[in-house]
Structure 1
Amino acid sequence: MTEFTDHTNLLPTAVQQFVLHWGEMGGQWGVNRSVAQIHALLYLSDRPMHAEEISDTLKIARSNTSNSLKELLGWKLIRRVPVLGDRRDHYEAETDLWQMLTRVAQGRKEREIDPAVAALQTCADEAARDPRISPVARERIDAMHGFVRTMDDWYRQMIAIPPGRLMMLIAMGKRVLAFLPKGKGEK
């Protein structure tokens, strides 16, 4: 990537497109567009950048940049790095794709899945004690709770697999099915 010495210069077209597209995807995933764009910029940058430089490059407010950097630090997708001769905070992105994926997955799990598992456990417990609830409702609550717990257990197993082995498993794709017993309705 080219050096960002003159912040008014346009980014290379491919970098610009990546940053804009990453921002759009972030919006679809429930992530603030500026947060996603800053992450994309730092991910493609070949050197750490300071907040003012990020703001100028992306043409976003300094306060927005500051808040976005805090969020990215919280997700552990970026880190502060010292730059000799400059007292400002500089930032660089995690570039290991597996680390990025696992950090995002872990963050989403903690914010979304763990509370869902706990809430469904509470609902299942209440349903088991309440004689007024219909058997259908009780069964469906239990089924939902069991499903979410199973997916949570699966996540824990997958996150423990070393990335190289997990990539091999992913690359095998549906060929893995040959090793599994046939399910109901399968030929």
Structure 2
Amino acid sequence: MNDRYEHWQAAERLALTLIQGGLQRMAARTLAVFLFTDQESVTAGEIAGQLEASAGSVSGAIKSLLTVGLIERLPSPGSRREHYRLRDDAWATLFTGQNTVIQAMLQAAAAGIATTDEGDPAHQRLTQMHAFYDFLLGEIPALLHRWHQQTG
């Protein structure tokens, strides 16, 4: 077994884990390419070739990874192809993006609280849900600050 084969097997296992975590299949496999590449940047064509996937599916995966802030487009003077790389702050950016999910959970809990009576068990559960997400949202800035201090 050669190192390149083992390398790609590890990438595919990571992609499977990401898929189980809710990422779309092609976005997970594309992200694995970015994580495991030894190149400064990659093109959509290079990803499609490595994954043996269609240009359209890779294009959609790149678009979704750009949208959530995990990858970035690089200037590529002299090249007609777009070049992409994993952002240096990819994980903090992704986590910060989760604030929209947390806000949505807060809003959903608040809407439920407004429609239930205080003595209702649903009201109590929704109040606890709201308190948790409110707490989580308040902790994110300090958590990211500590992360940035740790990573320099």
Q: Please, which runs of 5 or more residues in structure 1 have no aligned partner?
A: 1-9, 168-187
- Describe the shift of the 1:53–1:121 C-alpha distance in structure 2 as closer, same or farther (beyond 3 A): same
- Describe the shift of the 1:86–1:11 C-alpha distance in structure 2 as closer, same or farther (beyond 3 A): farther
Is this contact kept in 2: 1:43–1:92, CA < 8 A?
Answer: no
Aligned residues: 149
CA distance in 2, matches of 1:124, 1:118: 10
CA distance in 1, matches of 2:62, 2:68: 10
Is this contact kept in 2: 1:18–1:40, CA < 8 A?
Answer: no
The residue type equivalent to 1:63 in the other structure is G
Over residues 73-125 of structure 1, what are the superposed CA-to-partner deviations in whole Å (9 max), with x where a residue is unaligned?
1112111123343211111112x3xx222122122331x21101011112222
The residue type equivalent to 1:77 in the other structure is L
- 1:60 Cα offset (Å): 0.8
**So what's the TM-score if we normalise by structure 2?**
0.84
* Corresponding position of 1:35: 27
* Corresponding position of 1:152: 137
**So what's the TM-score if we normalise by structure 1?**
0.70
- Describe the shift of the 1:149–1:16 C-alpha distance in structure 2 as closer, same or farther (beyond 3 A): same
CA distance in 1, matches of 2:137, 2:76: 41
Specify which of 45, 63, 66 is matched with residue 73 of structure 1. 66
RMSD of equivalent CA atoms? 2.3
Q: Please, which runs of 5 or more residues in structure 2 have no aligned partner?
A: none
Q: Is 1:101 equivalent to 2:114 in the alignment? A: no
CA distance in 2, matches of 1:59, 1:67: 15
SS of corresponding position for 1:92: strand
CA distance in 2, matches of 1:109, 1:119: 14
Among the aligned pairs, what percent are the same residue? 22
In our comparison, the structure showing a higher alpha carbon Rg is 1
- Describe the shift of the 1:109–1:29 C-alpha distance in structure 2 as closer, same or farther (beyond 3 A): farther
- 1:11 Cα offset (Å): 8.5
* Corresponding position of 1:164: 149
CA distance in 2, matches of 1:157, 1:126: 33
SS of corresponding position for 1:88: coil
Is this contact kept in 1: 2:70–2:91, CA < 8 A?
Answer: no
Q: Is 1:60 equivalent to 2:50 in the alignment? A: no
- Describe the shift of the 1:135–1:57 C-alpha distance in structure 2 as closer, same or farther (beyond 3 A): closer
CA distance in 2, matches of 1:114, 1:38: 28
SS of corresponding position for 2:114: helix
* Corresponding position of 2:18: 26
